[in-house]
Structure 1
Amino acid sequence: MELDQLRYFLRVAEFSNFTRAAESLMISQSALSRSIQRLEEELGQPVFERQARALKLTDAGTLLRQRAQQVLALADDMLAEITDDGQSGRIRVGAIPTIAPYLLPDVLRGFSTEFPQARLLVQEQTTDVLLKGCTDGEIDIAIVALPIVSKYLKTEALLEEELWLILPPGHPLNARKNIRVSDVESCPFVLLNEAHCLSDNIVAFCRHRAIQPVAVERTSQLATVQELVSLAHGVSFIPDMAKVRDDSSRRVYRRIAGVKPMRTIAMVWNPYRFQSKLLETFKQHLRGLTAPGK
């Protein structure tokens, strides 16, 4: 049994389809099929149940997927440890969509300038997907917003960030010198969908003050939230790192008086995986972050 066979098997299991798996691996479908066939012959039983529209893992395939992930993770760690020179190598960085486009470009640019031999691979995903990637060894480090629920991952807070109230230019609240969170209780909200933790931050802040925000629209992009507010669909809260990069005159940002809505940005990694010198340096690079706009 070869490592490439296990990698091919995992990719087919991921896509449940030989054609898409072969395309992602950049090999022919026939070569991929032969590899899986040899694997099944060696195991003495099938790992996939061929159905009309998709492939389904057999019991043997489910067990093989678990073990294959462990074997390949150990192989990757071994290679990284042997070749660990602190200057070259690969770091797989994950970040949630409300952080990635605002924080990562400067971070990656600065790190790549200092370590030109390093390869930084970025994955932008929701918190749950990133945490699973860290747990499974598919991501080396993730940048997320707290709180998170994870049993085996290490979490370290990086910075606190204020959330700004965003209003359309003609909104009546713009005339007020001070706006308190109770003032927006009757306002319709435009929020990200439930998969995004920023919405959880906003709802938790409001509920803690006995206010239940009513979401009239939900979207998957922070930029869409900003545009919908500009069109007077509702109000919302926007992270400081997105606010300072927004030069549009079609929306107004206001601080909440009193206790301000905040979020904590943190880095997360799997302490049970090998931590290369380059990864440790990248962590230190992240520790040097300061909140945008401060």
Structure 2
Amino acid sequence: MEIDDLRSFLVIARYANLRNAAAELYQSPSALSKAIKRLETALNTPLFDRIGKSLRLNSQGEHLRERAEQLVALADQTQAEFRGERQHLHCRIVGPAILQWRYGATFSELLQKHYPGSGIAFVSQFEDAALGALSKGAADFALVTQAAINTSLPLGLEAVAIGNLTMHLAAGTRHPLVKTMSDAKPTMRKFKSNTAQILNYDFACPDRSLFCGIDRGTRSDGWRDDQLPRKIRFWLDDLQLLMSLVRSGQALAYLPDFALNDPSLVRLHVTDCDYECVEQCWLVWRPSVASGWQNKLVSLFTLD
């Protein structure tokens, strides 16, 4: 029984499809099929039920998946201890797109600095799904917010705080409101306004939370609609489209603080309703089966 075959087995189990698994592993479906046959021969038991073009783990396969995760993690840790920076990794990070955008580049830079030539796969999933994928071994790390930690951190997972993300009310430099303030002197690209002015204009708003999907519902971007109902003209579920509508001057919207580095955007400080949505962000992993490189990246990430 080879470690590489166990690695292939884990990817196939995650996708339940040879072709999709082959695309991630840069192998042919036939090569992966042979790997599964070698495992089944070595263990003298079938591991999958074949249903059309899909593969579903049977009870023996589920049992092997838990063992395979432990064996692969141990192999990775041993390799890391002896090979150090020469080790080439394939890191999988899951989490909401907004958190991938905020922390993905930092994670990638650390990985390339300490493990040159390694690959990284970013998969956008809402928080509950991300934690589920991590718990099942389908990811190495998950990015989530405090709300997910409070309500649904599965047994065996641990989290470290990595910073805060604040949603600010933003407008494009081409927006009519900003043009009326052209004589004002903004402080650090921040214009002062008030609710009477703000409520004259259209908003763009995600139709579900950018972090957890439907759990927090609509209108959970940062504005107090319960107190000051606004005109929401655009409903959407894509962060880049939200940015585009704001840049073009068509709508106001709440955007993450780091997005306001864009020179075509300005922050609006509403003096009589200065409410902001602040999210504490966490990096989650499974210490019990973590490889040495994972533990190292966690320590480096929290120090960065």
- The answer for the alignment partner of 2:72 in structure 1 is 72
Does residue 201 of structure 2 align to residue 190 of structure 1?
A: no
**Residue 255 of structure 2 aligns with which residue?**
238
| Aligned equivalents of 2:260, 2:51: Cα separation in 1 | 49
Distance 1:8 1:165 in 2: 46
| 2:64 is the counterpart of 1:50 | no
Pairwise mapping of residues 1-294 of structure 1 onto structure 2 (< 5 A)? Answer: 1-80=1-80, 82-83=81-82, 85=84, 87=85, 89=87, 90=89, 92=91, 94=93, 96-105=96-105, 108-109=108-109, 112=112, 115=114, 117=116, 119=118, 121-126=120-125, 127-137=127-137, 139-148=139-148, 149-151=152-154, 152-167=156-171, 169-171=175-177, 177-179=192-194, 188-191=203-206, 193-194=208-209, 196-197=211-212, 200=216, 203=220, 205-206=222-223, 216-220=234-238, 222-231=239-248, 234-244=251-261, 246-248=262-264, 252-257=266-271, 258-274=274-290, 276=292, 282-288=297-303
Q: Secondary structure at the match of 1:255?
A: strand
Contact in 2 for aligned 1:166/1:252 (Cα 8 Å): yes
CA RMSD of aligned residues (A): 4.2
With 139-148 and 202-211 compared, the bigger mean Cα shift is at 202-211
- Give CA-to-partner distance per residue, 1:156-205, whole Å, 9 cap, x none: 32323332112350259976943359965995432165563499597175
Deviations 1:113-136 (A, max 9, x none): 5x4758463524233454345434
Tell me the percent identity.
Answer: 22
1:190/1:109 CA distance change after superposition, 3 Å: same
SS, match of residue 122 in structure 2: strand
Shift in alpha-carbon separation, 1:53–1:242, aligned structure 2, 3 A: same
SS at match of 2:289: coil
TM value normalised by structure 2: 0.69
Distance 1:116 1:167, change over 3 A: same
Tell me the amino acid that sits aligned with residue 205 of structure 2. Answer: V
Q: Does the 8 Å CA contact 1:111/1:285 hold for their aligned counterparts?
A: no
Q: Which runs of 5+ in 2 are unaligned?
A: 182-190
In the aligned structure 2, how far is the partner of 1:284 from the partner of 1:197? 26
Q: Distance in 2 between matches of 1:116 and 1:61?
A: 32
Instruction: Report deviation, 1:254.
Output: 0.9
**Paired positions, count:** 281
Q: Distance in 1 between matches of 2:82 and 2:240?
A: 41
Alignment-derived partner of residue 292 in structure 1 = none
Q: Which deviates more, 69-78 or 182-191? A: 182-191
Distance in 2, matches of 1:107 and 1:45, equals: 40
- Report Cα offsets for 1:94-148 as digits up to 9, x if no partner: 36422434544356447755x4758463524233454345434554444443322
SS in 2 for 1:155: strand
List per-residue Cα deviations over 1:37-86 (Å, max 9, x = no partner). Answer: 34334444433333334233333333333333333233333433x4275x
Deviation at 1:210, TM superposition (A): 5.2
Give distance in 1, aligned partners of 2:52 and 2:129: 28
Once the two structures are overlaid, the 10-residue window that deviates more, 206-215 or 254-263, is: 206-215
Q: Structure 1 residue 219: deviation in Å?
A: 2.4
Return the alpha-carbon distance in structure 2 between the equivalents of residues 252 and 207 of structure 1: 20
Instruction: Give, in angstroms, the shift of residue 91 of structure 1.
Output: 8.0
Match of 1:263, SS state, is: strand
Is this contact kept in 2: 1:69–1:136, CA < 8 A? no
Say which SS state the counterpart of residue 46 (structure 1) adopts.
Answer: coil
Contact 1:98 1:198 in 2 (8 A): no
Alignment-mate amino acid for residue 262 of structure 1? V
Give the conservation status (yes or no) of the 8 Å contact 2:167–2:254. Answer: yes
* Partner amino acid, structure 1, of 2:253: S
Q: What is the CA–CA distance in structure 1 between the aligned matches of 2:61 and 2:107, rounded to whole Å? A: 40
Asked if 2 retains the 8 angstrom alpha-carbon contact of 1:192 and 1:225, the reply is no
Question: Mind listing any 5+ residue stretches in structure 1 that lack a counterpart?
Answer: 290-294
- Would the alpha carbon gap of residues 66 and 31 (structure 1) be closer, same or farther in structure 2, given more than 3 Å must change? same
| Inter-CA distance 264–6: structure 2 relative to 1 (3 Å threshold) | same
Answer yes or no: is the 8 Å Cα contact 2:90–2:118 preserved in 1.
yes
